[in-house]
Structures are given as structure tokens and as C-alpha cells.
Structure 1
């Protein structure tokens, strides 16, 4: 299905927060992005917005340790959540992440949905499945995205996606294959996001 990618007129960093008192209070619809450390989350957000460095990418997994809010077109907000599952992050910080993210996901009224980013090259990890199942149990809107698609031979993409769909308990057509390198999946992902962020007139 083809989708008109929205024109991004403005995209700006708003704030970083670790608790509700630090969240923006503008009332705009929010889309959160979650994934394992180093899965390509920052690159995906930048590609969606047509920006090179709005969200900082790092070769060091686990660098994002706060909820980072970005206002887009003065109409909606993207929220970059801390990556999970990286063993070298100090344990005391990892322990803080779960409650911080859970509090945001369960209490934020502006949250319209979440993009759950995983790696097409590998089956969803135990951490991936734990988050996905938690999202489903709480009735949160979420779209599974398998990134780094350009690194998987075309003959293996469908089998990899089918394996992920079985583990996640969704139809393979519900999964978006994405590549920050080739821009594959940009329109398909926007098609899933637009209903979340378009406010009624």
C-alpha cells in the first residue's frame, strides 16, 4: 500500500525526561520508539524525518538513558526511549530504565502508539519478546518493525519475517521491513503512524 510521506517542515529536540514532571505539557499526540541497544532506532527516526542528525546515533550501545522528546511540525511528538538489553550498561542504570519506561507507557495520555524495532537478521530476542508481550497485555498500540533489511538477502527476508511473526503472534503482513540505508519501509511505516498522529479537525 502506497502512502504519502508527510512533509516535515520542522523537527526539533524539546527535552529529555526521566519522570512525568519532566514530560512536555503541550498535549500533542506522541509516538514512542523502542528497541534493543544498537538496533538502529536513532537511524530509523532520522530517516523517517528526513534529518541526518536530529537524533544522535552512537557506536556505543546504551547511550540513550532518558526519554527524549522531539516536536515535529508543531503537530506531533516522537519519543526516543532508552535501548534495552545491553549487558555492559551498569546494572544500576538498567534497573532504572524499566520503571522509567513503564511509567511513561502506562500513564502518558498523549501516547498514541509505539514502534517496536527489532533486527531482521535474527529472531526476536527474549528481551524483544518480553517487551512485545508486555505491550500486548496492556493493550497498547504497537507496530513491529524489522530493521537492517538491506543486510538480509531477499530470498531470506520472508522466512525471517515469518519466523518473527510466529514468535510475536502477529500476521507477517503486520510487520514492516525497514532499512535506513535504502529507505525501504519508510512509506509503509508512515502508513501505520499517520492514523495515530492525525488529530480530528
Structure 2
């Protein structure tokens, strides 16, 4: 399987990038191919400007050069993985902008849908699993990403994987998180993702 790994973090030395590297290592060792897209490194502009605003009167909308480049990149892959820190129980602004601009009308929804076999969302959470579940934040996030985005774009095989307690944890915990990321890569194609219903 050819997997596009979209990563959103401003620092290369972040845990997010360490998780990305270990995830890709797992993918590779399982026989998959992977391309990493670092949204900060490519200078992605997350602001949805007038030229890329969805035009529902068009069945095949043309977008700005940057977005056409990213659409072409997505078309070359069988599956997608997003790796990101969870901020305010949501996607970072950079990644939210990527969703807004790239997964756009007439490409990802509307007259066309995404062709990808599955989407995996790897969310690094500063809180513990208990804190995440206290007010059902996890359920809300999973519903947003699996149903509100992936399923709306035609990908019913979508799963959110939380990596918990990423702030001020002992070194052995960080190694456990990296091992978790590696296993997600190794088992990417065989993992039974959440089958969502609308």
C-alpha cells in the first residue's frame, strides 16, 4: 500500500516528528511505501482564500497551483495518515487549513469522492486517557474526524488513534508511545478501522 503521511508540527525535534518517523519505519518494514508531507516545511498556506473557496456550481473546480499540487500528490496514494498534536481538542490550525483547502469540493466531496482505502488519524494528546474520557472528548473528536471529514469524503474506513500523556512523562513512557506508533505502521493495512455510519 502506498501511504501519504501528512504531518503538522512546527518543530522537527518534536515528539510528533519522532512518532512520524517510527510510524513510517513500521510501514516500511511491513512492505508499504510512504511519502511524508511536512506542512510547515513545504510552506503550506492554511488560509482559505477566494480562489480556493468551494464553488458548488462547478462539477470540476480548478484550484490554486499549491492546492492542485497537493491534490495530485493525494491521487498517487492508496491511503492517508495524519500525524498531529491535539490542540484545544481539535486539529492544529495548519492541518485544519489543509483539510479546508485540499479536501475540497469536486475533489474530496460533491461530484467526486476520495478514492483512498483508509485514513488513520494519529493524535498526540497531552492529557491522559482518563482525562480524555472525562467529558467524552475522545468520542467528539472521533465523530468529527471519522464521520464529519473522512466519511463525508467517501472513506468509511477511518480510525483515530490517540497517543496519551505526551507532556512531562517519564522517558520510558515516550518510548512506549514510539513503539505504539511503530505498531500502527506495521499493522496499518490489517488494522480494523472504525466503520462509520451516517
TM-score normalised over the length of structure 2: 0.51
SS in structure 2 at match of 1:104: helix
User: Cα distance 1:100–1:129, how it changes in 2: closer, same or farther (>3 A)?
Assistant: closer
> Partner residue of 1:165?
142
CA RMSD of aligned residues (A): 4.2
CA contact (8 A) 1:36 1:86 kept: no
CA contact (8 A) 2:9 2:84 kept: no
2:7 pairs with 35, 38, 51, which one? 35
Aligned length: 140
Aligned-partner Cα distance in 1 for 2:44–2:15:
14
**TM-fit CA distance, 1:138:** 1.6
> Partner residue of 2:188?
193
TM-score normalised over the length of structure 1: 0.50
Aligned-partner Cα distance in 2 for 1:99–1:40:
30
SS in structure 2 at match of 1:81: strand
> Partner residue of 1:127?
97
Unaligned runs of 5+ in 2: 50-63, 148-155, 167-173, 192-198
1:72 pairs with 9, 28, 36, which one? 28
Q: What are the within-5 Å matches in structure 2 for residues 37-52 of structure 1? A: 37-38=9-10, 41-48=16-23
CA contact (8 A) 1:129 1:168 kept: no
1:118 pairs with 84, 88, 103, which one? 84
Aligned-partner Cα distance in 2 for 1:41–1:96:
28
Unaligned runs of 5+ in 1: 1-28, 52-70, 197-201
Aligned-partner Cα distance in 1 for 2:67–2:15:
20
